[in-house]
Structure 1
Amino acid sequence: MTHSCPVVIVGGGPAGTAAAAQLGKLGITSKIIEEASKIGGVIYRGPLRNAHSLPHLDDNLKRAMAALQTRYHANRRHIELLENTRVLGPEGTHSLLLNKNETLSNIEYQELILATGCHERSIPFAGWQLPGVMLMGGVQLQIKSGLVQPGRKMALVGTGPLLPLVACQLHKSGIDVVGVYEASQFSKLAKEAVALLNKPKLTLSGLSMMGYLKKHNIPFHYGWGIVSAQGENALKSITVAPYNEHWQADTHNAQTLEVDALGVGYGFVARSQLAMLMGLDHQYSTVSGSIPTLDQWQHSSVNNVYVAGDSSGLLGADAAICEGQIAAIRIAQSRGVLTGKEAAQHAGKVMRKLDRLKRFRFGFDRFSAIQVGLMELAKPETVVCRCEKTTRAQVDIALAQGVKDITSLKMRTRLGMGDCQGKTCASYAIDRLHQSGCTDNIGAIKPRFPLDPIPFTFLEEQ
């Protein structure tokens, strides 16, 4: 391969698009592999259909979406977009196996940027499998992708800045939001005031959202959270209760709310399956799950492979943009397009901005840190691994028998062996191991090739 080969970028969200645009500014071509039909990722993709009005999307979000599109189109001649394309995993050296429109192909790379984003952290509780119980990202995807209402009467439970944002979006889209329940105490948020001043505009935006909720009489409860959900074939009601500092529910003061939909948001974890399959060194973060070990240039332990955005640790869209730009600048230096001094000059301002964003985000991370009380919500009969129908009772028995690592827990219970390869249950499994006192060498649920199932009949046609 030569330096004229395009840089391959997996993921067309904020990080991947910013990396491609930065490379384009420096005259370097790139190919973005995006599994959706348009760029932007879940955050900035916007509607998948034409709409005359989007009253549920706030002005800041619209500006950010427009900025991403502007960045992309300004450098479009240097970017090739492969939309509706999924990466099934590495194949051979410096090559990925792709599935586009049910056709398998390979793409070779000289440098690779992984910007695969994140997926939601699932918290099992009684009734969490009922239709109408949705994770917060799923709720956002519905209303952002063309004003699809997830329900008529909703409540939101969880922690972090998504709660007030989604509550405002739901109300503006015509949904009756009966209550928002933030697991952490307000006093804990107040302690992070200095950290939040690193991004004063974002902090003011959050205050504006809280003002909107108050103006429209939407209750926002600090120190409250989910206990259970009720219904037969669909969600009918939920039970919420005050949480103590460890997020243990005070069921004596529980309340029941009639709703037909529930948004649950207890955080996200890095989408690291492809990076793990490629052999990148990883470490475990209580906030982000398994994340690759990177240097200040987003360079991984594998030569010519970079990781940017939420797949390298959850810092938000603005930080993802910075990380994509940093990786692109380093690639430009490695190709001789920039000298070391020029690369440092280009990256210096971006790195300083990233440091401010990290300080801001770490404040929220401390406020929203997952507490052990959430592990007590699942009943013995509650399914904690949806693919294999593994229950909490089976996990309890395995731990009582002395299981101390993920591999052993997987062998005893089949947890993590299903088609989703542990995306739903891995965080719960690790949290339970930590709760039982196992913190060293517990391992991870290792992904398998291919990352998405391929029907045998499909293979025969190739």
Structure 2
Amino acid sequence: MANASPVVIVGGGPSGTAAAAMLGKYQISSIIVEEAPKIGGVIYRGPLRKTQSLPHLDDNLQRAMSALRTRYENNRSFIDLKLQTRVLGPEGKQQLLLSENGQLTTQSYNELILATGCHERSIPFPGWQLPGVMLLGGVQLQIKSGLVRPGARMALVGTGPLLPLVACQLHKAGVNVVGVYEASSFNKLAKEAVALLNKPKLTLSGLSMMGYLKKHQIPFYYGHGIVNAQGSNKLERITVAPYDEQWQADHRQSQSIEVDAIGVGYGFVARTQLAMLLGVEHKYTKVSGYIPKLDDNFLSSQDNLYVVGDSSGLLGADAAICEGQIAAIDIALKRGAVTTSVAQKEKQKVMRKHARIARFRFGFDRFSERQNGLLNLAQDDTVVCRCEQATKKQLDDAIKQGVKDLTTLKMRTRIGMGDCQGKTCSSYALDLLHQAGHKQNSKTGVIKPRFPLDPIPFTFMEETFDEQI
């Protein structure tokens, strides 16, 4: 074989593991670099400690988790798994800098697959920094990773299919779920019936969840959402209200609800910081933020660099698996490990499945499309950038004074200068710019990531220096 070096895969979630397994099918070795202690990603990682039972996880999820583990085990001889290892960024040509076992190491590659996933989209509102206010994915991660109850009396606010799923999981875990508040109207969901039929089993699963909530008298409100959160040192109550079509809250009909925790879920953003550092060309999408420009094989503008899964666009775990497999088939074809006819047949089968999933997901994307009313939740003194404590008024004032892009907004207000490098605030700030009429621009509409992606402890530097001398 012309190229016997292993394919390097960053991320051991559904897409990364599927890519490694498909490569193993063609007897091609790979290295998975995964920051967590287990493969599977946030969705399929499962408990981080042993439990007697998993009452909070539905049968479909447990089967999917088992399938991912089986896929890995069946091809384990071809996969080198590096757990609890972080990629800090590029180090020279076709080489990555890693934080591994308390030391800095490097990993070279000829083909690189990025499967870095996504992070949650933050929507500031008064009180959103109180202890007990959590993003929806974080709530789910707690109960899925070890049956940790995030609260005793909870409400869920936001939009999308994760709301009923997490509500069911919380109830099964023993949490009193006092209400679920979906921002979009039911009529808007009904219009997407044809799109949802592309995944009938998944649609039936969603209906089953809604039936479960009704059976256990957990109220589900369409066209409602968060207004604010209150409490002295921790969350004590929230205010919710009906939303209009633009998700503008009707304060005349607001109501106060006593809770000790809430889950807030208004979408996700593709995690593309590493791809940007590697020089991959990106484009802006309203649903996923900035995503790489890719061809049909998920190959980027950089030769031999593929981007798959939620880091290439938010289509969910099933689509992520397909994308990892397609990238792996393309690599196998280029390496001569499979004939063109076999590769095309295999790829077409996976792409048909991917297309059905995409049509299904696009229906939910239209249903859950963010509306400008969310931008009006934050008040003048509401902190938007947690790292630098920049407020909504500071951003509004800068935009009124002529700021038209994120780079200048960063210089004026310091948003994106903290440790998270804008993951929390940049999407919200970009929405503000768009609301003000400033069109996005690929050169100025993004806060560029800095190297290293994660802070490097001085102890790492000392140990590395000691080894070198």
- The TM-score bracket by the shorter chain reads over 0.9
Partner of 1:320: 320
Cα displacement (A) at 1:455: 2.8
Deviations 1:242-261 (A, max 9, x none): 00000000011001000000
Q: Distance in 1 between matches of 2:138 and 2:323?
A: 25
Deviations 1:300-354 (A, max 9, x none): 0000000100000000000000000000000001111123222111101000100
**2:398 is aligned with 1:403:** no
Partner of 2:434: 434
Q: Is the 8 A contact 2:2 2:335 kept in 1?
A: no
Q: Is the 8 A contact 2:416 2:426 kept in 1?
A: yes
Cα displacement (A) at 1:458: 3.1
Provide structure 2 residue ranges, at least 5 long, that are not aligned to the other structure.
465-469
Partner letter of residue 292 of structure 1?
P
**2:270 is aligned with 1:270:** yes
The farther-off stretch of 411-420 and 336-345 is 336-345
Partner of 2:212: 212
Q: Distance in 1 between matches of 2:340 and 2:90?
A: 31
Q: Distance in 1 between matches of 2:271 and 2:231?
A: 32
CA RMSD of aligned residues (A): 0.9
**How does 1:348-359 map onto structure 2 within 5 Å?**
348-359=348-359
Cα displacement (A) at 1:457: 4.3
Give the secondary structure class of the aligned counterpart of 1:203.
helix
Deviations 1:339-389 (A, max 9, x none): 322211110100010001000000000000000000000010000000010
**How does 1:379-398 map onto structure 2 within 5 Å?**
379-398=379-398
Instruction: State the TM-score, normalized to the length of structure 1.
Output: 0.99
The farther-off stretch of 447-456 and 359-368 is 447-456
Partner of 1:304: 304
Cα displacement (A) at 1:435: 0.4
**How does 1:125-144 map onto structure 2 within 5 Å?**
125-144=125-144
Partner of 2:193: 193
Cα displacement (A) at 1:443: 2.0
Given candidates 434, 445, 448, the residue that maps to 1:446 is 448
Partner of 1:250: 250
Deviations 1:83-104 (A, max 9, x none): 0000000010110000012210
Partner of 2:116: 116
Aligned residues: 462
Cα displacement (A) at 1:78: 0.5
The farther-off stretch of 452-461 and 401-410 is 452-461
Q: Is the 8 A contact 2:284 2:440 kept in 1?
A: no
Q: Distance in 1 between matches of 2:202 and 2:235?
A: 34
The farther-off stretch of 392-401 and 436-445 is 436-445
Cα displacement (A) at 1:456: 3.4
Partner letter of residue 463 of structure 2?
E
Fraction of identical pairs, as percent? 72
**How does 1:11-90 map onto structure 2 within 5 Å?**
11-90=11-90
Cα displacement (A) at 1:459: 1.4
Partner of 1:455: 457
Partner letter of residue 89 of structure 2?
G
Partner of 1:160: 160
Partner of 2:467: none
Give the secondary structure class of the aligned counterpart of 2:146.
coil
Q: Distance in 1 between matches of 2:318 and 2:265?
A: 20
Partner of 1:177: 177
Moved over 3 A (4+): none
Cα displacement (A) at 1:2: 5.6
